[in-house]
Structure 1
């Protein structure tokens, strides 16, 4: 049923009570990232830290969720344990469709359970169950147990954390339906602070599709573009892992803690190599016909009885870059073994791999010793890295407790800040140049998906600061609109403004069509106001020295251009975070 208001389930873990709330604002915030920011503005606390029990953990979907292919993401918003400011993360799986089938636009969780608990939410059900016996369970085992506790159909989505979330690592993730994750900035840590081991979303209702030819015709056209053209072919074929060799050729592949931007060994962990040696099957988020999830297999032999165990592990470009190239692990199977441990512990794979890369270089240079690392972290040694993952998740000493809060925080105490590969958080896998470095370092989510800065570097050899800054601001705003829907960003080549307008019109939201640009500006502004209000100072962001030592296909990094972009983007952020004129509110 099309409705102008939002339907929100708010659950208080402290009291065990829940209530259904309706809020206006569809015409101002659409849904997704806009709704999440609106709800945090209402329920969040600017003057309290991230782990205050009353801080909300928010999950939202958009007006097109369930109606069109690849409108399959959920936005998760929270105050981050990583920087103690407003943050977002996105995941797919079944989460978005499960919320739609539960007749909810948002789930807001506040409070803290007295004991470790699991929450089940549906249109007809709210249940909080004591699962203290699951403390210490890894994320995969937790999923198996929760499926038995809360039985359901294919419309059920299970969100859970591993030991890293319970132990409050600042980059613990939320595992979603095994192969997807709210990965960055510590959503799993927020669940751990709330004593919340798992959330089961039960899609126990149906919803009607629009009648008439306009909707069915548009749906078929979008489906055709997504499945029969070359536009999405790479995502189904080799997946994003296909980026390894091209970025290596461009000298833009972070390698060995960014000491290099290419390596002759890169082909050994390329998308082609993973497909040949490890690929078991493709999978897809609910409501997606593309199937970009690539699932490889890990084979382990037990010496006692000479038996073999096979485990399934998902991979794509970012995990391969962070746990392959950055650690100089050049065997596809060994990369998957590291990722398997990361999955179980419930950590963000990018932050974990990059943190271990920094620790390896710090150990190599004598900045730290074996007293700190416990195991002799060594380039290319998957066995020690697997142990290192567990030590980050379950810290045995002060070094790992601090490393679990972030590489740069650890480096500030022990040394090695110059080679900590941190751009707001541990970097994504694109050493493409100045525009990307500034985009991720200062961007709202410190994500490679905040804008296409990595693509801009590859397409523009000029050093026009104003042109680059205009691109970052405008491209980010366009992505904000798609994140209000909430669409998979892989589909942005299909869901251009004109198609989004048709899609909204066909499902009954035609009145919103003329407001998309204004909504994008409003949401972009509100998100920045929330971050700035929590202490973010973009002008004080420092880009570590390692990034000035990088050489790409264009040559050495231009430090003057980098600094001009950094100061210019900081000023643009302050402008975006300023209160909007009353006419635009």
Structure 2
């Protein structure tokens, strides 16, 4: 491979309207790296910043990085799109087999544009591009769709990734997700609705090609060294053993676990839904994304009874802290079996469980305050009533009436219509499961993905009691820079203690990207700023964000939340983000 070839991205651009795909060789590896950077580059080339998210011409982008397939935990795919949730350019990240399937298909990225004439599945591989009519799958849930597609789009078993949507995506829910290989998701900000608007039920990537190993003699030693750090050092034990549900008891002890629509931050029944309780009562096995030796995917068991036949079925449901929080304490549910069952229903509908759970928590409080009646909800909602929430998840996925149509656009959209904006737990999007305090609330509100993983703000809150706006803003900006570097590779962010910048440099050099390794800091900063520019070009103004009143009414281990300090953090971080997105000096 020549240096010029090594600088180019290999991208398949497929137009569903025309039923045609074109292979594009796009230069820029040394400037955009891959993953997050590549997705931002592709949106600048194919996106329509001023048009609606559901405009058929808008791209749905799947991008991987230069280290995908070559090193442990380089296992994620970045999905870039214009979000129907907030009308901004957005990213969502997922693992499963998606990243390695793209690598074995010989692609750095797949860009899907247009709208298929009939509900279809796009199947791509190194030797195959096919658009398959699946009109009969209209309305099918995620798992039924996956089961049938394993037969319809057979081949490349083990290196095949099936990315599909459920009824929520077809119905345009602003937080519909794309299910990836059953246990993983492009979950946040509505990628599933964008796929649904394209009349695309699924994208199947056949990893049917070869992956030649690097010729650099240092490769095997570097791989071994990283693998040992991951598996033998104990660095990743938390993620394999109890997984992120290990956070429940510490967060509850710190008064940082949201309960019942954030009416409380701790509860004596937290032990019932702890990581330990899930492991003891429900854990069936661990699974892993392709290319990952850790096995952080925890799969639990749900038994579904059929009253008419007195028979039951066993469902395998993946769980993590965030889904458990949204289906558990946020809804006042403390039976771990029911937490998994609520997750299972949301999964089948193709709903992002975090947004769906938090939105339903708002709905419960809205009903208790008389803003919403049972006529709208069609089922009596009450904290702790798992049966009601399972039914409501189905109604939400199917957009059963005007109320669920509004709630499917987000809790704040529903609150703007029915009232109750002060207690809508939305920080840019529905909050994740950390009520750690001012730093986290300001960070999730302003940050690029409005995600708990944009920065380590939730961790910062747990370690710092002092109130220093400048120090916090500096931390948020610096921490984001290093994370964006990893999302350009694309590495699992659980591996951020392994893939420090010096190790990343060694990885890139070993893979033949020596020039990129030498200029890694500049390239990472370029990618970071460019993705912010994409977000700004689509209308995002961080200074206009707001933090609902509920977040200033709680108490954490540090005491009552300081609303004035939190607002100062929001404003300070927003100003820093504007500076990051400012035009380049030579622009």
TM-score (norm 2): 0.98
Aligned to 1:62: 65
Give the SS at the match of 2:362. helix
The structural deviation recorded for 1:517 is 1.3
**In 2: Cα distance, 1:580 partner to 1:327 partner:** 46
Aligned to 1:439: 443
**In 2: Cα distance, 1:381 partner to 1:345 partner:** 19
The structural deviation recorded for 1:395 is 1.8
Give the SS at the match of 2:519. helix
**In 2: Cα distance, 1:437 partner to 1:419 partner:** 14
Give the SS at the match of 1:493. coil
How many equivalent pairs are there? 583
**In 1: Cα distance, 2:189 partner to 2:308 partner:** 41
| Cα deviation 1:422-458 (Å, max 9, x = unaligned) | 0000001110010100100011110001111111111
| Cα deviation 1:537-578 (Å, max 9, x = unaligned) | 111111000000010000001112111111111111111110
Question: Would you say the 8 A contact 1:525–1:580 is kept in 2?
Answer: no
2:157 corresponds to 1:138? no
Question: Would you say the 8 A contact 2:35–2:488 is kept in 1?
Answer: yes
The structural deviation recorded for 1:305 is 3.3
Aligned residue runs from structure 1 range 399-414, under 5 A: 399-414=403-418
**In 1: Cα distance, 2:584 partner to 2:517 partner:** 21
Aligned residue runs from structure 1 range 380-459, under 5 A: 380-459=384-463
The structural deviation recorded for 1:212 is 4.4
Question: Would you say the 8 A contact 1:73–1:90 is kept in 2?
Answer: yes
Question: Would you say the 8 A contact 1:522–1:580 is kept in 2?
Answer: no
Question: Would you say the 8 A contact 1:113–1:194 is kept in 2?
Answer: yes
Question: Would you say the 8 A contact 1:525–1:579 is kept in 2?
Answer: no
Aligned to 1:149: 152
Question: Would you say the 8 A contact 2:168–2:399 is kept in 1?
Answer: no
Aligned residue runs from structure 1 range 516-527, under 5 A: 516-527=520-531
**In 1: Cα distance, 2:327 partner to 2:230 partner:** 30
**In 2: Cα distance, 1:440 partner to 1:549 partner:** 17
Aligned to 1:275: 279
Aligned residue runs from structure 1 range 49-448, under 5 A: 49-152=52-155, 153-448=157-452
Question: Would you say the 8 A contact 1:157–1:202 is kept in 2?
Answer: yes
**In 1: Cα distance, 2:93 partner to 2:584 partner:** 26
| Cα deviation 1:92-138 (Å, max 9, x = unaligned) | 00000000000000000000011100000011111001111000000
2:490 corresponds to 1:494? no
**In 2: Cα distance, 1:421 partner to 1:125 partner:** 45
Give the SS at the match of 1:444. coil
| Cα deviation 1:478-503 (Å, max 9, x = unaligned) | 11110000000000010001110111
**In 1: Cα distance, 2:360 partner to 2:21 partner:** 41
Give the SS at the match of 2:289. coil
**In 1: Cα distance, 2:121 partner to 2:234 partner:** 43
Deviates more, 1:501-510 or 1:76-85: 501-510
**In 2: Cα distance, 1:47 partner to 1:537 partner:** 15
2:512 corresponds to 1:512? no
Give the SS at the match of 1:291. coil
Aligned residue runs from structure 1 range 563-574, under 5 A: 563-574=567-578
Give the SS at the match of 1:82. coil
**In 2: Cα distance, 1:211 partner to 1:104 partner:** 20
Give the SS at the match of 1:170. coil
The structural deviation recorded for 1:459 is 1.3
**In 2: Cα distance, 1:254 partner to 1:222 partner:** 36
Give the SS at the match of 2:496. helix
Question: Would you say the 8 A contact 2:244–2:320 is kept in 1?
Answer: yes
**In 1: Cα distance, 2:517 partner to 2:348 partner:** 43
- Which of 16, 19, 40 in structure 2 is aligned with 1:16? 19
**In 2: Cα distance, 1:508 partner to 1:363 partner:** 60
| Cα deviation 1:277-326 (Å, max 9, x = unaligned) | 10000000000000000000001233333322111000010011111010
The structural deviation recorded for 1:531 is 1.2
| Cα deviation 1:460-491 (Å, max 9, x = unaligned) | 11111001000111111111110000000000
The structural deviation recorded for 1:255 is 0.6
Question: Would you say the 8 A contact 1:450–1:476 is kept in 2?
Answer: yes
The structural deviation recorded for 1:536 is 1.1
**In 1: Cα distance, 2:180 partner to 2:172 partner:** 18
TM-score (norm 1): 0.99
Aligned to 2:556: 552
| Cα deviation 1:506-542 (Å, max 9, x = unaligned) | 1111111121111122111111111111111111111
Aligned to 1:48: 51
**In 2: Cα distance, 1:547 partner to 1:555 partner:** 13
**In 1: Cα distance, 2:529 partner to 2:310 partner:** 60
Structure 1 segments of 4 or more deviating over 6 A? none
The structural deviation recorded for 1:391 is 1.0
**In 2: Cα distance, 1:507 partner to 1:534 partner:** 35
Give the SS at the match of 1:172. coil
**In 2: Cα distance, 1:372 partner to 1:292 partner:** 39
The structural deviation recorded for 1:504 is 0.9
Which runs of 5 or more residues in structure 1 are unaligned?
none
Aligned to 2:584: 580
**In 2: Cα distance, 1:527 partner to 1:114 partner:** 32
**In 2: Cα distance, 1:133 partner to 1:96 partner:** 29
